[in-house]
Structure 1
Amino acid sequence: MIVAGAAMLMLVLSTATGIAYVWQPPEDRDYQSRYLTTVESRYADTDLARFHYTKTGTGPAVVLVAGGGQWLYSYRDTIPVLAQHFTVYAVDLPGQGYTTLKQRDFRYDLDAMSGALGTFLDAMALPKASLVGHSWGGATSLYFAERHPERVTRLALLASPGLDVPSSWDWRPLEVPVLGELIGKLMTKSNSEATQRKSFVHQDRVTPELIDENWAQMSRPDNREALWSQQRNFDYALTERLLGEVGAPTLVVWGGADRFDEPWQAAELARRIPRATSQVFEGCGHSVHEDCADQVNPALLSFLTV
């Protein structure tokens, strides 16, 4: 009995390890993005990656960086507003959307992700720009602004972790080897939808299109891997230690009903970042710029045009 039990355990562990490190789930290649038919997709080839991005409007440069598990689609309501006054670049960083990595040893840590952001800026011939980042994309933007203050004109952080505090329990299982890979690889469209719904207060805005658009890109192998890798590798002790190095005027925005990252962080980040202010929108979730676009877009526009 003991031998049989041990054999069964070994079989289970072997199967789990095979799924975690060898097997690749199928990618949703059949979905045709409706959003991409309404915008002009552009690609920038670099040694690091083939970056997918859009460029809209004229004026000073503003670069939009989406959160983890999302892509530039998340700024669909933000781009038209800002593009009336700015040249708006919305970019998929490595592990997002339709950008394709060329370097297979990419680490998905803050140094690598902020370096990728710098690579994209260089590819666009932008010596400096304003940055708007959401969630993990905000953490990347914050770290870039800390390390390269001369390249950032203004910085807007939307529900962006930057303090060295425990992350949401939703994400901590991703930190466990094998388990994190299993969660990422076995994730289904319904799992993705549940996460999206938790990120919004206004459930009517979690439309079938939003679910489809996010799942199609999330099903890509690199994008799945980015989920557990960023959760493991993002070290917020780095961003917290360097908060005083941010040289750009900064706006920290949060949803008062954020169910992933606690809203008190907005005021604390603003207190510790020079020339920073914070704004918490009550009744709004973690995807604050999507959930409450009518409130957040005017705040962003006012901040960026001062």
Structure 2
Amino acid sequence: MSTIHTDLLNAEVRYYDNGTFRTRVIEAGSGPALVMMHGGGGHAEAFSRNVERLSKHFHVICPDFIWHGLSSCPPFASGNWVRQFSDQMLALLDQMGIARASFEGESLGGWIAIDLALRHPERVEKIILNTAWGMDMGTERSGEMPSLKEASLNALRNPSRETIRRRMEWLMPLGGTTDEIVDVRLAMWSRPATREALLEYYERLFAPECANYLFRAPDLAKIPVPTLLLWTEKNPITGPDTAHAMADVIPDAQVHVVANAAHWPQWERPEEHDEVVTAFLQRTR
């Protein structure tokens, strides 16, 4: 059975620091750049099952967002603080000497992929929105939001294998949670700086004013790059109807729905994920 360690044997862990953002990156391969951005509370290991396969075709770059993992925890900006994630990704590309990249964003990462495509299209080839969050299509399963907030804050305030496992099982209720990923998340969420930053992140994320930063249909209609909506049957936040509603307004969009997966299809169904992503990225416009 593979482990995170064996999955990443051919990858490197590097740190890029431009004085504003210090970013931990799992990196492998060569060719067109593919930046894979994790969800809220997560870390680069969310894509550990995908790095080896995808690195045969692409320069795979899996960063820890600021306030997450082992990246730095700068002060939160006033106003639209979500854009700080985009600023971090642009700074990372600059430091790596990469002019343009494709971006896959899972959950929170999808929010950032949309923001990058809208505000910095000159840096974006294609985007993959993997069970993305950050948009208001009127299809959200709002009943899941309190349970996500409660599970997240409880695990941060009382980090243990039990509380972390419950949080991971919210992501993967169909059985994808392993002891290893629980241990990695526990190590990350037990770091004082990360814990304090994530507690503030979740308070801001669930604050009423955060709704002002969500994207809506008129925004999505302006996405100028090819877009893959990679969704799942059992996504706890939004179902496949959201992906199809988004595809109806994004000019160049396609939908792929993964069966028997929830909020981490790249982990729950890695082979299918990688096959679909590779085909999309290698498709000519």
TM-score category, normalised to shorter length? 0.7 to 0.9
2: CA distance between counterparts of 1:287 and 1:270?
A: 20
Q: Structure 1's 97 and 253: CA in aligned 2 closer, same or farther, altered over 3 A? A: same
1:297 corresponds in structure 2 to 274
- State how 1:1-306 maps to structure 2 within 5 Å: 38=9, 39-101=11-73, 103-106=74-77, 109-164=81-136, 165=138, 168-172=142-146, 183=154, 185-189=156-160, 190-203=162-175, 205-219=176-190, 220-221=194-195, 222-232=197-207, 234-235=210-211, 238-240=214-216, 241-306=218-283
Could you report, residue by residue, the CA deviation over 1:103-140 in whole angstroms, capped at 9, with x for unpaired residues?
Answer: 32446733222222222222222221000110011111
Gaps of 5+ in 1: 1-32
1:234 Cα offset (Å): 4.3
- The CA distance in 2 between the partners of 1:91 and 1:234, in whole Å, is 24
Q: Per the alignment, in what secondary structure is the counterpart of residue 237 of structure 2?
A: coil
Distance 1:224 1:151 in 2: 31
Name the SS of the counterpart of 1:74 in structure 2.
helix
8 A Cα contact 2:228 2:255, kept in partner: yes
Shift in alpha-carbon separation, 1:231–1:174, aligned structure 2, 3 A: farther
Q: Could you tell me the TM-score, scaled by structure 2's length?
A: 0.84
Moved more, 128-137 or 215-224: 215-224
Partner of 1:12: none
- Pair 79,34 (structure 1): closer, same or farther in 2 beyond 3 Å: closer
SS at match of 1:100: coil
Could you say which residue in structure 2 is the equivalent of 1:11? Answer: none
**SS across alignment from 1:194:** helix
TM-score between the two structures when normalised by the length of structure 1: 0.79
CA distance in 2, matches of 1:114, 1:236: 17
Secondary structure in 2 matching 1:171: helix
**SS of the residue 1:155 aligns to:** strand
Change (3 A) 1:37 1:305: closer
Residues 235-274 of structure 1: CA deviation (Å, up to 9, x unaligned) = 4664224212211110001110112333311111111111
Q: How far does residue 278 in structure 1 lie from its aligned partner after superposition?
A: 0.9
Between 54-63 and 38-47, report the one with greater CA deviation: 38-47
Give aligned pairs, total.
269
Identity over the aligned pairs, expressed in percent? 24
Structure 1 segments of 4+ aligned residues over 6 angstroms from their partners? 179-182
Structure 1 or 2, whichever has the larger Rg, is 1
Shift of 1:187: 3.9
